[in-house]
Amino acid sequence: MTTSASGSLWHKITSRFSRQGATSSGPRKIPRDQHGISRKQISDSALKVISRLNSAGYEAYLVGGGVRDILLEGQPKDFDIATSATPEEVRRQFRNSRIIGRRFKIVHVRFGHEVIEVTTFRAHHEQQDAAPSKNAAARNASGMLLRDNVFGDIDDDAARRDLTINALYYSSKDFCVYDFVGGVEDLKNRVIRVIGNPETRYREDPVRMLRVVRFAAKLNFDIEPGTEAPLKKLAPLLQDIAPARMFDEVIKLLMNGRGLQTYALLRRYDLFNPLFPATQKLLDQNLPNAENFIQQGLANTDARIAEDKPVTPAFLYAILLWPAVKELLAQLIAEGEPEIPALHQAAERVLHRQQQSIAIPKRFSLPMRDIWELQLRLNRRQGKRAEQLLEHRYFRAGFDFLLLREQVGEVEAGLGQWWQAFQESHPDARNAMARHIRQPSNNDKRRPRRRRRGPRPQNS
């Protein structure tokens, strides 16, 4: 996505409104000839949802990232709709839809592989008495919202959104953009700003702190000082977020093509620690290569995303947890555990602790273990082992992980080059390559066994 808008576009949008803020008299209404958004840039499915809701008598607007990204002259990946219809009313309009979520009910309308997310206008919780159902909103002792289903009108909804740049609404009825909270001005000035009091909004939902960092990195925007100020103090509130929710949030943070920049901001504002406490502990101890390894891994991931190559969460999490696994592996081997069982124990312990912060599904945690185990097996190239490893279902991921470790000096130089040549060679040549690998000497073989028997006598 282009992160800077053309001068002519911004002149059209802001020349008329640059000195005005959103007021109680209503939003800024930016007509078609001043904002540059075309229906051709909007998903046909999103337009169908808006049209049907409008025809049924409801208000409906394209909102959030779909509007923001088009104004920034990019192409949105998702199109979200905000409407006056309740979730149940939206559900009745679309057979191809379902209501999801308890804390924050939304409707997913599916068109083939495309999903349009539809949310009902939210209101302030002071209006709960007028809400359509009992217990529509609830908070815990720290102020975090446990339920958030108080409905209102579009003015209320704009005030309840997280960031000003995500509170822009496009109407396909009059083709205007509606700006209630100064989002256009913040887009122009390249600023991330929370709507309302930042500390209150972060306490309502601590994940908003991650969204601030994510959009600042993704768009290369500055964080407004008031929005920035409470981040470090309130970072520990992320420990209260359900681990299952945190898994998805980390994917959004670090797999958007700006993972390295996002990581730097997470570290700056102490937001990395509640996500990966074991890794943070080692970073604080200046463990050799740990920082370089994570940074290089994220840089490589960003490069793959830029080239439109596939990236799996398993590989990303394998990078972020490897420093902790490697450190515990070394401790267990020093205590006499054989290498492979030691790795299995290290992986089990690290993942068990990590699940308390971020719930990593087995479909990703199992491949992670294989990637880590391959790091030991890729050193063993004698005989038929090398040929057999090529058939491993996660060989390519393990090989890429090995290259990353070699980049930061964690393994001997040339090992990755050997495996690259081995993959590209004819089977006969592979046999010759494997035969020329130096076999471990007898002393090499005996040393691990001697250590496993226990410590040497004091007089040895």
Q: Respond yes or no: is residue 78 known to be catalytic.
A: yes
CA atoms within 13 A on the CB side of 316: 25
With a CB cutoff of 8 Å and minimum separation 6, the contacts of 428 are none
> Which numeric CATH code is attached to 7-189?
3.30.460.10
Q: Above pLDDT 90, what percent of the chain?
A: 68
pLDDT of residue 387: 85
Q: Among 163-172, 278-287, 306-315, 447-456, which stretch is predicted with the lowest mean pLDDT?
A: 447-456
How sure is the predictor about 430, in pLDDT bands with cuts at 50, 70 and 90?
Answer: confident
pLDDT in tens, 45-86: 999 999 999 999 999 999 999 999 999 988 888 899 999 999
pLDDT(94) > 70 = yes
Residue type, 351: L
pLDDT of residue 20: 36
pLDDT(109) > 50 = yes
Mean pLDDT highest for which of 24-38, 281-295, 347-361?
A: 347-361
Q: For residue 394, what are its two tokens?
A: 């996660």
CA atoms within 13 A on the CB side of 154: 21
pLDDT of residue 246: 95
Domain boundaries, the chain: 7-189, 277-451
pLDDT of residue 101: 83
**CATH of range 277-451; options 3.40.50.620, 1.10.3090.10, 2.60.120.330, 1.10.10.10:** 1.10.3090.10
Candidate list 69, 148, 162, 205, residue with the active-site label: 162
d(CA 155, CA 247): 32
pLDDT(127) > 80 = no
Answer whether 169's CB lies under 8 Å from 229's CB: no
Phi, psi (deg, nearest 5) at residue 243? -55, -35
pLDDT of residue 439: 53
How sure is the predictor about 450, in pLDDT bands with cuts at 50, 70 and 90?
Answer: very low
Q: Respond yes or no: is residue 156 known to be catalytic.
A: no
How sure is the predictor about 36, in pLDDT bands with cuts at 50, 70 and 90?
Answer: confident
Q: Respond yes or no: is residue 162 known to be catalytic.
A: yes
What stretch of H or E contains 295? helix 290-306
Q: Tell me the H-state helices in 84-206.
A: 87-93, 154-160, 183-189, 198-204
Candidate list 78, 155, 270, 400, residue with the active-site label: 78
Give me the residue label for tokens 């699940």.
Answer: 355
Tell me which of 61 and 379 has the higher pLDDT: 61
CA atoms within 13 A on the CB side of 306: 12
pLDDT(250) > 70 = yes
pLDDT in tens, 205-227: 999 999 999 999 999 999 999 99
Q: For residue 253, what are its two tokens?
A: 């943070």
β-pairing, 97-100 vs 80-83, is unpaired
pLDDT of residue 422: 85
Q: Among 163-172, 421-430, 432-441, which stretch is predicted with the lowest mean pLDDT?
A: 432-441
How sure is the predictor about 13, in pLDDT bands with cuts at 50, 70 and 90?
Answer: very low
